[in-house]
Amino acid sequence: MLQAARQAGILIPTLCDHQDLTPYAGCRFCVVEVSGSRFPLASCALPVSQGMVIKSESPAINRYRKAILRLMLSTYYDHDLLQRKNIPRKERGLLEDTEFMRWVKHYRINLRRYIPHEPRYPVNSDPNPFIRVDLNKCIVCTRCIRACAEIQGRFVWSLADRGIQTHITAGPNTTMLEARCESCGACAAYCPTGALEHKLSYGSPTPNKKVRTTCTYCGVGCQFDLNIREDEDGRQEIIRVTSSPDAPVNGMALCVKGRYGYDFVHHPDRLLKPRVRRYLLEGQPRTKDRGEWVEVDWDTALHITAVKLSSIRDRYGSDSVGIMTSAKCTNEENYLMNKFARQVIGTNSIDHCARL
């Protein structure tokens, strides 16, 4: 029923359900009224049949969903949330922008009235370098368990204990890395509450915009959104990477490099413009020390490269030039390099670093 409602453009609130994962019907937040049924039913696990009469919104359903949220909040502890009253809004960061908090605000639940003031579990309890674990925020929706098993195939997370003590655990109550975690971040990406968060961006300022881009680490072509913060002086900084369900190649899945390896963008040694030797720019003979590097525009750099390659080919023959491509290029870019080597330069001397 939940899938049918989405196709019809009808929004039914849910927390444990995700379109990429198998239905779980654990949170009961997506309940609907079904004509002829005594009780509300979870729409994520409700089969559709001919002639069904469904109410996705009603005063009774709203009371039911508010009660569910209050029950979840009764075991939800967030130290930062309790201290956030004295923090400027623009510095509150990404902590409150979770799927769970958005529904809490939507139904106008008084947070401070229901959340506990003491944690049940250690905060930031796992030494994983990329994923922050705070079980005090967990609502046992099992999204992380299903994402790890069904998307990544690692089976790191599972449930432990019973009743109100039920909680997620890595392996047989070990650390994530000891439980064969690859630090892909899928569990944090699917988590609706922030119980599993990205350590590199935890507490960072709220981004101003998102930019869709293609990962540069391999040729698969995974796409994701760069969350960018731009200050008053126009300086931009990547706050975090978020995967998107509509990415055509990877969906929500990313590897550890694609999700967390973005700090090179702001590295002080990174080259932002092409550089050529000054003697090439001035048309002078090559010196012993080859001279200094000079920043130029792309047209100038490509022109000098084309002239040098063509002159070497014409003087020494096509096989005097070898082409080395990169695993960081897309498959299409490597295909073009193959055509460039064989049809433009005229050589079969082309190789790829992934083969070495």
Helix (H) or strand (E) holding 302: helix 298-316
Determine what percent of the chain is predicted with pLDDT higher than 90.
78
Report the interhelical angle of 99-106 vs 59-73 (nearest 10°): 130
Residues 136 and 253 in one domain: yes
**Mean pLDDT value of segment 203-212:** 89
- Tell me the pLDDT band of 159, cut-offs 50, 70 and 90: very high
Comparing 10-19, 72-81, 314-323, which segment has the lowest mean pLDDT?
Answer: 72-81
pLDDT at 29 over 70: yes
The partner residues of 198 in beta bridges, in order of sequence, read 131
The pair phi, psi for residue 224, each rounded to 5°, is -155, 175
266: Cβ–Cβ under 8 A, 6 or more apart, which residues? 237, 238
| Domain end position, chosen among 84, 114, 144 | 114
pLDDT, tens only, 96-115? 579 999 999 999 998 888 99
Task: Work out the average pLDDT over 217-238.
Answer: 90
Residues 21 and 104 in one domain: yes
Within this chain, do residues 260 and 282 fall inside the same structural domain, yes or no?
Answer: no
Confidence of residue 95 (pLDDT cuts 50, 70, 90): very low
Mean pLDDT (the chain) is 91
Question: For residue 144, what pLDDT is reported?
Answer: 97
> Which domain range does residue 330 map to?
322-356
- The verdict on 168 and 136 lying in the same domain is yes
Higher pLDDT, 333 or 145: 145
Q: What is the pLDDT of residues 138-152, one digit of tens each?
A: 999 999 999 999 999
In a domain, 332, yes or no: yes
pLDDT value at position 96?
57
Q: What is the average per-residue pLDDT within 206-227?
A: 91
pTM across the whole model: 0.86
Number of domain units in the chain: 4
What's the CATH code of the domain at 74?
A: 3.10.20.740
pLDDT of residue 94: 47
Q: Given this model, what pLDDT does residue 89 score?
A: 53
Q: Examine the domain organization and report whether 110 and 141 are in the same domain.
A: no
Same domain, 345 and 281: no
**169 and 244 housed in the same domain:** yes
CATH of the domain at 244: 2.20.25.90
Instruction: Kindly report which listed range (4-8, 53-57, 146-150, 349-353) carries the lowest average pLDDT score.
Output: 349-353
Please say whether the beta carbons of 28 and 68 come within 8 A: yes
Mean pLDDT within 205-215: 90
- Same domain assignment for residues 303 and 329: no
354 inside domain: yes
107-136: per-residue pLDDT in tens?
999 888 899 989 999 999 999 999 999 999
- Would 122 be classed as within a structural domain? no
CA distance 77 to 93: 18
Is residue 289 one of the residues assigned to a domain? Answer: yes
Q: Do 196 and 155 share a structural domain?
A: yes
119 assigned to some structural domain: no
Query: Confidence band (pLDDT; 50, 70, 90) for 288?
Result: confident
Same domain, 260 and 135: yes
pLDDT of residue 19 exceeding 70: yes
125 in a domain, yes or no? no
121 lies in a domain? Answer: no
Domain end position, chosen among 114, 143, 168: 114
Q: Which has more pLDDT, 354 or 279?
A: 279
Residues 226, 102: one domain?
no
Q: Is residue 302 part of a domain?
A: yes
CA 39 distance to own-chain centroid: 38
Q: Are 73 and 114 in contact (CB under 8 A)?
A: yes
Alpha carbon of 259 to those of 84, 153, 156, 189, 350: distances in Å?
28, 17, 18, 10, 31
Q: How confident is the model at residue 355 (pLDDT cuts 50, 70, 90)?
A: low
Answer with the one of 51, 84, 114 that is the final residue of a domain: 114
Structure confidence at residue 91 (pLDDT) = 47
155 and 179 fall within a common domain? yes
Question: Is pLDDT of 341 > 90?
Answer: yes
Segment 327-345 shows an average pLDDT of: 90
